[in-house]
């Protein structure tokens, strides 16, 4: 019997609330997400915080609060601030660094005075585990280590610090309700071999043109030989949509590649990012059409989405969710 496709709440239910805020994670839990994502970086005092980038200016008021703390490249690095300083920041919807305008204008109002703040990994885990207990519904955590090579250059033992926290909260074994993901294969290999980490691992796959991970060749990673290498340390791959379904432009039929089949032949699951109801590729007319393509035609094992409720409803209405029998008593 085919496994239920996983709903991974991308930065929480960030289609509705600012990304990586505790309210966005709580809402994702109530919407039926199987896993809730945490992007993590380190502070100056070695605390693990949940924020998408090494930089703070596109999601917080750091420029207003600490105007003189940017580096020579004009960026405000989380690693240059203590947790106490970080906690004084207020989060908002992601803005475009060049224009200063929201990336997704129809989402939560950027001018809202709601006091969203950056959370630690411990705070987020305790909230998710608390909701698991109070609701009786289990959601897992899906942790991405952001920029391990950068942290090493800054003199930080990033992987060790993150794994220590996960161990404190019971995430150690392969069957734990936890995934570790990273774009850098060196970091995943280091955790698997040197640190003897047995957690499920996901090799994220970007594009060489993004230039986010110098020295990593994603094009080679997508070849049969590249996937063979990934399968030696990872349990799944996390590609963006294009290597799975190539968008050939408006008016052209998309091309479904053999990546999913190739990964499955190597016992690698495929979790694809990122599915947004308010940002559709040119080859579909609706979000449900997009979900149909990836779940039914392509056969992916899970997706990252900003809208976990819509995906949950789609899976239920499509018969892709297991039937739950509820005993209501006499």
**Contact assessment for residue 60 and residue 92, using Cβ atoms and an 8 Å cutoff:** yes
Would you call 271 a catalytic residue per the annotation? no
Catalytic residue among 20, 52, 92, 271: 52
Looking at the DSSP assignment, which residues form a beta bridge with residue 203?
A: 182, 237
Would you call 10 a catalytic residue per the annotation? yes
Nearest-CA neighbor of 237 among 265, 212, 260? 260
Nearest-CA neighbor of 145 among 102, 105, 96, 189? 189
Angle between helices 121-135 and 22-30 in degrees, nearest 10: 30
Question: How far is 170 from 173, CA to CA, in rounded Å?
Answer: 8
Q: Name the residue with tokens 């989402």.
A: 107
Cα angle at 296 between 293 and 301, to 5 degrees? 100
Token pair recorded at residue 302? 């899970």
Half-sphere exposure at residue 175, Cβ-oriented, CA atoms within 13 angstroms: 0
Active-site residue set: 10, 52
């Amino acid at each position: 019997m085919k496994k239920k496709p996983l709903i991974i709440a991308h930065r929480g239910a960030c289609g509705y609330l600012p990304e990586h805020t505790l309210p966005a994670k709580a809402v994702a839990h109530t919407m039926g997400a199987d896993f809730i994502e945490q992007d993590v970086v380190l502070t100056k005092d070695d605390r693990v915080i949940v924020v998408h980038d090494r930089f703070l200016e596109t999601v917080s008021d750091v420029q207003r609060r600490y105007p003189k703390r940017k580096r020579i490249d004009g960026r405000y690095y989380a690693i240059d601030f203590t947790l106490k300083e970080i906690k004084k920041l207020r989060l908002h919807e992601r803005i475009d660094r060049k224009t200063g305008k929201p990336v997704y204008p129809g989402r939560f109002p950027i001018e809202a005075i709601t006091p969203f703040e950056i959370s630690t990994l411990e705070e987020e885990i305790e909230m998710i585990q608390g909701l698991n207990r109070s609701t009786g519904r289990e959601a897992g955590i899906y942790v991405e280590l952001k920029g391990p090579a950068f942290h090493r250059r800054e003199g930080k033992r990033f992987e060790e610090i993150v794994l220590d926290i996960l161990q404190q909260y019971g995430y150690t074994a392969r069957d734990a309700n936890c995934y570790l993901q990273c774009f850098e294969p060196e970091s995943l290999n280091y955790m698997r071999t040197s640190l003897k980490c047995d957690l499920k691992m996901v090799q994220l796959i970007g594009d060489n043109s993004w230039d986010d991970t110098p020295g990593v060749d994603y094009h080679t990673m997508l070849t049969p030989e590249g996937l063979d290498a990934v399968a030696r340390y990872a349990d799944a791959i996390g590609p963006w949509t294009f290597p799975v379904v190539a968008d050939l432009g408006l008016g052209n039929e998309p091309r479904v590649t053999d990546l999913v089949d190739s990964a499955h032949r190597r016992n690698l699951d495929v979790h694809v990012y990122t599915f947004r109801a308010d940002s559709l590729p040119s080859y579909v007319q609706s979000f449900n059409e997009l979900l149909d393509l990836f779940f039914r035609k392509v056969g992916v094992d899970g997706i990252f989405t900003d809208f976990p409720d819509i995906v949950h409803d789609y899976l239920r209405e499509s018969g892709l969710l297991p039937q739950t029998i509820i005993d209501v008593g006499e």
